[in-house]
Structure 1
């Protein structure tokens, strides 16, 4: 078990006036204990009391968990794990549960009166995971450097006859050649007007002369995710295209420039949004500015107008303004940043100036 991480979660529980938490998210369990397995339909749960030894509930089909240092309670496919959970939970007190607790476990716990009441308390773990320690920050840097290298490969694939799907399907082998293990999300490859759809799924569309090309891609390396977007040209951009691109680039760079401890997520979003609004495309920037990232590509805590919490050192999130003009074009430029003691570190070094490929 990682005692420092467990104590950070416990501190968050104290602030919530909670004395116990049931965690079922496999990544959060791994982050706290070093134990990982995919439970599928079976129960995997970590019961974390405010004091004392945590209890890990595992099916006997799962790998041995004794090395975690937790108290291990095992069960078989024919056992009902609900009574086992009830034995560990303090029925006289509220129980915090995480957002991944399925109804097939939650409802029986409620019916059994396992706790005084049930409280959604994912933020006790989510807020702790949001602050990356030094090792995690280095893993985020490595994943983003890998993504920078992959973006260079992607740019080389933009040639006559290539399709969106051809390029997207070739990316995983490139990630693995560069040392990553997997995508952190399905890659977005958009030619021409397809880029006006922020979440376009690559298809068999071939590159047409003069198309703009948008790549939004990320890899997972040693458990940590990267995420970056770049938009390219395949012909000299028109004045209109340059204006749209310039507005997005300035919004991206201005937002990154104000990131420092104490600045709120909402202020960062507003900084980028005002630049795009002043350029005349406010309604065409139709999503939040960014999202936190780490073990998962999208982690709780977005960079948006409604998130008034201040950023803290160790937080890692995306800055990804965009302008989307249906039937015409779309531009998005995205980097990841880590908040430092007096500013931020931009994890992506792939150039953001206008690039004409071919």
Structure 2
């Protein structure tokens, strides 16, 4: 009877998103050594190699994807012990819809099972403060799966100890295109002006706007492409490509990737700082151009003195920031309403 209970516990753990359990002694020592250096706060994974793993082991593709999910849960446990508070994973690309119907149906069914399991683990999610976000165009998914995802997102949105971003029905180019549409919507609604459109504003309109950009992106299976994943967000991230198939990923593979980040941390940070300075300079130039044009049309042909130009610039910047904040609040409300409406429909069904 005790053996049966133990087996049931192991099976439950294997299906779980949030794994309990400590690192072994050698892993703890290694983790502490790594944590003495600069650590990535946000790590993104392209979990590649599930199908090749299945072929290698002579198993069904679906079993390979199941093994891949189990590895994700284990990796999240390692990240927790390494004080990595945010993880983003490429779970399902829009391009995956081009696979065979059987494989697509199997992936969507696996997603149903895993999000149902996630909801069953509510107490564990609350205990660890896990906020789950799903990034992508959920309208491409079956309604029942949309509703399961919405439940998970809405129920965990107040948690703030750690964050799991699941990119589902996602590609980066689609995300960027959608961000441009959101800004066009803001202009059409009169919330912002066309002159307010900028690189930082586009960043705020991405699905990932609530998250800092990843410090480290890891792709497994030996492929050295980003495959349309977080192209905008990883322009100043450390990219690590590892040959191991995702279901065979180990704690030591993760440590190796973090070490690569640490070795390149100084140059990465310098590139980020220079980019921020360049963005600020571009914004200042754009604001000055808008103010100069306004003064030209409202100054009766007289050149404005330095004090008047400075006052006009400060006033313009304040108004622009207020417009952008109002627009972002409206965008947040629109996105929150989408998830809340899905959840309400699921509850009332």
Band the TM-score falls in, shorter-chain normalisation: under 0.3
Write 1 or 2 for the structure with the bigger share of helix. 2
Greater RCO, CA 8 A, separation 6+:
2
Q: Which has the higher strand share?
A: 1
Give me the TM-score of the superposition, normalised by structure 1.
0.21
